[in-house]
């Protein structure tokens, strides 16, 4: 990729091939990096991936343009590079469909229409909720005042209780410490955490150059919760959080850790936006806004592929879990495709 340095040198590390490859879960995806050239010079790079089941590629290509890292090119060339890359992918007769997440600013609309028209593809659009953003304020107290009364009370009371017990917030952890703590928490049965997801997160943290790794530990130095992500442009991106709620169910560790983190971002780092990768739950969701995003399905109009899609749509409720999770990639449903 040395000949692409002129495109990458002004971009965040999350636009580099190392980060993209680190983000691939190899049991479910095959990376597809399309390099668009003009003569001998690289005009742009497009990152996509192909869904697979076991060892079998499905012929379904997924790309997410909502965080501005899918296309690496000069600012005015992005849509043309994207279009060329999609056309190139569809030259492979094995590829049956494209699954794209695009921002609702219409920048890719014409390119998608040209790809669809040139290949005579079936097309479907649907709105999707995926990544969401929380706006911070000029001070932590002002941020708390924006929250609902119960949420604000919880942020303050659980933190006071944590500090009264001798707890400590660590605003900067080394990647090695974070890795060791995450594995220990995983063994304690953290809700929602699994080995392959944690491995993926650690690979991604290793590939970024501005990590955001923080945590809580008690008076004895035992870690209770950690949060990981990175800084990108003027925002902080939260990718994962692990809380030892099994041993400390009454301490609301998630709330305590986020309170400390938001205060540190506001006061120390002057960050005013937090993006939750793939969304956030709980009371904070009421104060977040999803990035306006459209899911676009482009499918080959062949008799066989239309039949497969129709069969999946009709039988999704009867499919085993493994195939059921794949169904919405094959045919639009009430659950549009999301990043894993």
What are the C-alpha distances in Å from 50 to residues 28, 29, 32, 263?
Answer: 8, 5, 7, 40
Q: Which pLDDT score, from 0 to 100, does residue 9 have?
A: 84
Q: Which pLDDT score, from 0 to 100, does residue 334 have?
A: 43
Q: Which pLDDT score, from 0 to 100, does residue 335 have?
A: 44
Question: What is the DSSP-derived secondary structure letter of residue 76?
Answer: G
Instruction: Count Cβ neighbours within 10 Å for each residue of 26-62 and write b for 16 or more, e otherwise.
Output: eebbeebebbbeeeeebbbbbbbbbbbeeeeebbbbb
Burial class of 141 by CB neighbour count within 10 A (0 to 12, 13 to 18, 19+) = exposed
Residue with tokens 């500090």: 163
Q: Which pLDDT score, from 0 to 100, does residue 227 have?
A: 97
State the Cα–Cα distance between residues 74 and 314, nearest whole angstrom: 44
Q: Which pLDDT score, from 0 to 100, does residue 6 have?
A: 82
Q: Which pLDDT score, from 0 to 100, does residue 123 have?
A: 94
Q: What is the pTM of this model?
A: 0.90
Q: Which pLDDT score, from 0 to 100, does residue 328 have?
A: 74
Q: Which pLDDT score, from 0 to 100, does residue 333 have?
A: 61
Measure the N-to-C terminal CA separation of the chain; round to a whole number of Å: 26
Residue with tokens 């709980």: 282
Block means of pLDDT (10 residues each) for the chain, 340 residues, are: 74 93 94 93 95 90 92 92 96 95 93 94 92 96 94 96 96 97 90 87 96 97 96 93 92 96 95 94 92 95 91 74 70 53
Q: Which of 47, 52, 19, 51 lies closest to 34, judged by CA?
A: 47
Q: Say if CB 171 and CB 207 are below 8 A apart.
A: no
């Amino acid at each position: 990729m040395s000949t692409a340095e002129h495109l990458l040198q002004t971009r965040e590390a999350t636009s580099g091939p190392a980060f993209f490859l680190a983000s691939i879960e190899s049991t479910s995806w095959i990376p597809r990096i399309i390099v668009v050239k003009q003569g001998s010079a690289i005009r742009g790079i497009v990152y996509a991936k192909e869904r697979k089941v076991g060892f079998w590629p499905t012929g379904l290509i997924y790309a997410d343009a909502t965080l501005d890292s899918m296309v690496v090119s000069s600012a005015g060339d992005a849509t043309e590079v994207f279009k060329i890359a999609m056309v190139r992918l569809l030259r492979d007769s094995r590829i049956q469909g494209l699954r794209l997440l695009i921002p609702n600013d219409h920048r890719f609309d014409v390119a998608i229409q040209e790809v669809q028209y040139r290949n005579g593809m079936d097309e479907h659009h649907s709105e999707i909720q995926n990544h969401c953003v929380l706006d911070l304020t000029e001070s932590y107290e002002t941020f708390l005042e924006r929250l609902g009364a119960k949420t604000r009370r919880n942020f303050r009371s659980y933190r006071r209780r944590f500090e009264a017990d001798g707890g400590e917030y660590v605003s900067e952890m080394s990647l090695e410490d974070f890795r060791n703590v995450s594995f220990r928490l995983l063994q304690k049965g953290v809700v929602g955490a699994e080995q392959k997801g944690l491995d993926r997160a650690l690979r991604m943290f290793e590939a970024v150059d501005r990590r955001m790794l923080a945590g809580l530990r008690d008076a004895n130095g035992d870690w209770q919760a950690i949060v990981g992500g990175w800084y990108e442009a003027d925002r902080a991106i939260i990718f994962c959080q692990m809380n030892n709620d099994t041993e400390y169910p009454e301490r609301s560790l998630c709330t305590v850790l986020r309170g400390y983190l938001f205060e540190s971002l506001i006061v120390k780092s002057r960050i005013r936006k937090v993006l939750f990768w793939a969304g956030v739950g709980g009371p904070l969701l009421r104060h977040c806004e999803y990035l306006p995003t459209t899911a676009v399905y482009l499918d080959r109009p062949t008799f066989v592929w239309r039949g497969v899609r129709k069969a999946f749509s009709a039988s999704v409720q009867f499919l085993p879990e493994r195939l059921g999770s794949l169904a919405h990639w094959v045919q639009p449903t009430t659950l549009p495709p999301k990043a894993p």
